[in-house]
Structure formats: structure tokens, C-alpha cells
Amino acid sequence: MQRRPLIAGNWKMYLTQDEAVALAKAVAQSAAACADRDVMIAPAFTSLAAVCTAVQETGVLVGAQNIAWEKEGAFTGEISAPMLKDIGVSVAIIGHSERRHVFGEDSAMINRRLHGALNGAILPILCIGETLSEREAGKTFSVLEAQIRHGLAGVDTEQMQQVVIAYEPVWAIGTGKTATKEQAQEVHAFIRQLLESIFEKNVATAVRILYGGSVKPENIDELMAQPDIDGALVGGAALKAESFDRIIQFQ
């Protein structure tokens, strides 16, 4: 099964609108040289519309860093799928470790957000990952299984074909400490097996599972060479055109 690689940049709370547009244009140039892979960038909400305009018709996907579950209503601070669709956004990152650990989003809320994306025809990237203490206590697989089962509750086989999973070990995010390719592959294979047991084999075989956590030009090639790693969700190294270009051009 040939899964189309997806290289995604999460810009977090960085860049003004002008900086975001300049970087988006550079990313579009990098992506144009690689027709066999998808490239996505997720700017802060203030730059989403301008970035959508900047990359229009380049094939670069634009993602939001979160998404509401309702279409509209009294939800101060939230942005819905129809609002995102309206400006050209087609992807949403959901359940990022910073949303879970800094802002206290729980599995039930993350599951609602995922359904909000699916119902609004926005492709969700569901992020999961264990903390260092969970890993050291031997709980990695049970934590990830719970995050997957709760995060995907109520998702049917057909909807699952629209979902991307991102494995981001919390201890590897922004720390410079990447999971080894063996550690990442072991977890990705576990996730795929789990998806096969929840859905069916062809869904599990087709789903894209990204790795995130200190991905950089120096380690992208070895990560992408692993059989169950289908792409990367990149933070810090996605903020510089040169390093993200090298990651997009992985071999």
C-alpha cells in the first residue's frame, strides 16, 4: 500500500502576518519541486486568511491549529469548520500536546473537535503522545491506546479514511530530543495494529501516521525510511524556510 507522504508545519504562536505570508510563499516553492507528497502549514489564526491567499492554487494545504465542534454559537475564542472552510482552510490539528497539557483539553473535548472537523469536511490531524514519566513507567502503549480510542470514539470506517494521526511523544516536543527511528517505528506499528482491530485492515493500511517531536533536516530521512512513518508534524524547524525545505525534500 503506497501512502502519500504528508509533511506538515505547525507554526504554533509564532510569526506576524507579513512573516507568515513570506514563509508560506517559500514553502510553496519547495512543495512545487515535490509532486509526490502533500505539504501542509498551520499558521496562527491571525495569518490563516492571508496564508490561504498566498498559497492559492499551489497545492499547499493550509491547516488550523484547532477547531470548534459547533458550527456557530456563543463560544468565545473558538473558530468553526464552516468559518475555516470559508477562507480556504482544509486541515485542522486536534489534540496537540500543548492543547492537552497547557490548556487542559481532555479526550472528550478532543473527540468533539474531531467530529466538528469531520462534519465540516475538514481533514483532522489527531495528535497523541505519552509524557516522559508515562514512558518511563512503561505506560506508553496503554496511554496511546486510550488517546486513540477516546479520540476516535464514534468515528466510522468511512470517516476514518479522512483522519490523519500524529504521534508526538511529549518528551520530544521542542526539546531537541527526537525519538529514535526504532522507537518511532515501534509506536507507529502499534498504532496501525490498533486501528486494524478497531476498524478494518484496509483502513489501517491506508491511514497516514505522522511523527512529530524535534524533526529536523538531520533526522527526517531516517524517520521517513521507516515502513510505518508516513510523514512529519514539524514545529521549530518549520519556522525557517531553509530547514523546512530540506524536510519537504526528504529522500
**214 sits near ligand 13P (criterion: CB under 6 A):** yes
Beta strands in 11-54 (DSSP E): 38-42
Active-site residue (options: 96, 105, 115, 134): 96
**91 sits near ligand 13P (criterion: CB under 6 A):** no
Active-site residue (options: 98, 105, 130, 168): 168
Asked if residue 166 lies in contact with residue 127, where contact means CB atoms within 8 angstroms, the answer is yes
**168 sits near ligand 13P (criterion: CB under 6 A):** yes
**174 sits near ligand 13P (criterion: CB under 6 A):** yes
Helices and strands counted in the chain (H then E)? 12, 8
Sign of the dihedral defined by the CA atoms of residues 84, 87, 92, 93, in that order: negative
- CB-nearer residue toward ligand 13P: 26 or 198: 26
Q: Give least dist CB 132 to ligand 13P, A.
A: 14
Sign of the dihedral defined by the CA atoms of residues 173, 178, 179, 182, in that order: positive
Half-sphere exposure of 198 (CA within 13 A, CB side): 22
SS3 content of the chain, % helix, strand, coil (to 5): 45, 15, 40
**111 sits near ligand 13P (criterion: CB under 6 A):** no
**233 sits near ligand 13P (criterion: CB under 6 A):** yes
**165 sits near ligand 13P (criterion: CB under 6 A):** no
Q: Does the annotation mark 72 as catalytic?
A: no
**151 sits near ligand 13P (criterion: CB under 6 A):** no
Q: Which residue is nearest to ligand 13P (CB)?
A: 235
Q: Please give the Cα distance from 245 to 241 (Å, whole number).
A: 6
Instruction: Give me the residues that bind ligand 13P (CB under 6 A), please.
Output: 10, 96, 168, 173-174, 212-215, 233-237
The set of catalytic residues is 96, 168
